[in-house]
Every structure is written in structure tokens, then in C-alpha cells.
Amino acid sequence: MLKFKIMNKKIYQLIFIITFVSLSCNNKKNLPIKSQERKEMNNIDEYYQKRLKMLEEQLKQRDITDKKVLSAMLKVERHKFVPKEYEKLAYIDEPLPIGFGQTISQPYIVALMTQLLELKENDKVLEIGTGSGYQAAILAELAKEVYTIEIIPQLAQKAEKLLKDLSYKNIFIKIGDGYLGWQEHAPYDKIIVTCSPDHIPQPLIDQLKDGGKIVIPVGDIYQELVVVEKKDKKIIKRNIIPVRFVPMKRLNE
């Protein structure tokens, strides 16, 4: 009888050990989260919160009402497009340096220019001034294809790698002088220029579809954001607001 009791106790002990071991192996929650992973998870959450705040305080409070533009601005992770040392500042209401004396525009200006383009999902868009690739990513969320030209090779290469890592398949980058446009893929439904020439480049007007639109800053020290529309081959221009962009360089300068 005593022998039976001891055996019974041993069986219970064994069942307890097996259950405990299998539970701790199967339950992933019990595995320690590596500190790097935890840091990344916190950052993801922190940056999402910052984007929500950016939408509320910088975009909706002003005149950004287009729901598609707002959701693209919420989706695209701007902090990935700025140099590491500016990551924490990525969502402030200011432009930021991206190297080579160039800047990524203030979030509001990116949203405003995108809203002014009135993109449709089948649109083919040309961008002059790839820079960090951020504006191109926003455009790629809302249009079919984005062709973008950057004059500084190092910036073009960096943006190309980042956009590939982020799995964008509808953005095509070329190193060159955007003043001349990109004839090979013309005509474009929409054109956006993110550096400021002192006049609207004729090649861009020529490469725009009839019914299409260009959003472009124009001027040297005093610049105006201009919307250019081509209707029945006529050109209509509308000034929007004063802006401050880096100047458009020319390759022979």
C-alpha cells in the first residue's frame, strides 16, 4: 500500500514537471524580449504617435483636408528619410538638413503640394529633386508611377536604396538635371518640383499632358508656390503662397 502511494506521488511529480516544461517552451510570452527589440517596438509606437500629432497640429489645423493625403502622411515613416542625428526631430514643423546643403521640406509643405496635385491612382508623376526620397514615397502611395530626378548622385543613390528597402516598386530614380524633365517617359499627368528655378522650365510644360498640372516653387530670394494647368494647350498659372526652397541647380553651373 505504501509502495503504491510513493509511486502515485512520483507519477504526479512527473506530470507536473512535463506540464511546466511544455508550458514554458510553448508560451512565447515567457521568452525574454531582447532590449534592442524592445527599443524598436517603443520607437515604432513613439513615431506613430508623433505622426498622429503632426496630422492634428500641423496639417488638419491648416488647410490639409484630403483624406488620402492625410493617410499617406500618417503611413510614410518620415524619420527613416532624415539623417540618424535628426531622427527624433523628424516630425517637427520645420524643414531638416539631409546633407550636401539640401533639405527635406516641412511636413505641411509636402502635404500641401501633394494635395494641390489632386493625384489619381492611375497618374504618372514626375518629380524634380528626389532629395531624401520622402516626397517620392508620399506620391507613390497615391499615384501609379513616380519618376524622380536628382542632380546630386550621392543623394539619388541613398534615396534609391532606402525606397528599395521600403519595398516601393513604382518609383524610378534618375541622376540628372531635372530642368530638362525626363522625355523618355513623357507625357506626365502631374509634375512636382521641390527646388526653385527662377522661371518655369519649358521642357516641363512640354512634357505635361493636356489637362495635367505642375506644382512648382518659382523665384530666387522671393519665391511663390505656383500651380500651372494645361488646358486645351493653354497655360493657366495660379499663385498659392510664398515659400522657401533650395535653388534649382543646372548641370553646367
Q: How far is the CB of 147 from ligand SAH (least distance, A)?
A: 12
Residue in the shown chain whose Cβ atom is closest to ligand SAH: 131
Q: Is residue 223 a contact residue for ligand SAH (CB under 6 A)? A: no
What is the rounded distance in angstroms from the CA atom of residue 35 to the CA atom of residue 169?
33
Q: Is residue 131 a contact residue for ligand SAH (CB under 6 A)? A: yes
Q: Is residue 107 a contact residue for ligand SAH (CB under 6 A)? A: no
Q: Is residue 135 a contact residue for ligand SAH (CB under 6 A)? A: yes
Residue 71 bears catalytic tag: no
Q: How far is the CB of 117 from ligand SAH (least distance, A)?
A: 13
Q: Is residue 150 a contact residue for ligand SAH (CB under 6 A)? A: yes
Q: How far is the CB of 67 from ligand SAH (least distance, A)?
A: 21
Catalytic annotation, pick one of 35, 71, 105, 196: 105
Q: Which residues pair with 213 in a beta bridge?
A: 190, 229
Q: Is residue 104 a contact residue for ligand SAH (CB under 6 A)? A: yes
What size, in residues, is the chain?
253
Cis before 107? omega within 30 = no
* CB 159 within 8 Å of CB 173: yes
What is the rounded distance in angstroms from the CA atom of residue 207 to the CA atom of residue 190?
10
What is the rounded distance in angstroms from the CA atom of residue 245 to the CA atom of residue 193?
10
Nearer to ligand SAH, 80 or 144 (CB): 80
Q: Strand, helix or coil at 208?
A: strand
Q: Strand, helix or coil at 161?
A: helix
170 to 108, 130, 214: CA distances (angstroms):
24, 14, 20
Nearer to ligand SAH, 178 or 212 (CB): 178
Q: Is residue 152 a contact residue for ligand SAH (CB under 6 A)? A: yes
Q: Is residue 142 a contact residue for ligand SAH (CB under 6 A)? A: no
State which amino acid sits at residue 16.
Answer: F
Q: Tell me the catalytic residues.
A: 105
Q: Which chain residues interact with ligand SAH by CB under 6 A?
A: 98, 102-105, 128-129, 131-132, 134-135, 149-152, 155, 177-179, 194-195, 246, 248-250
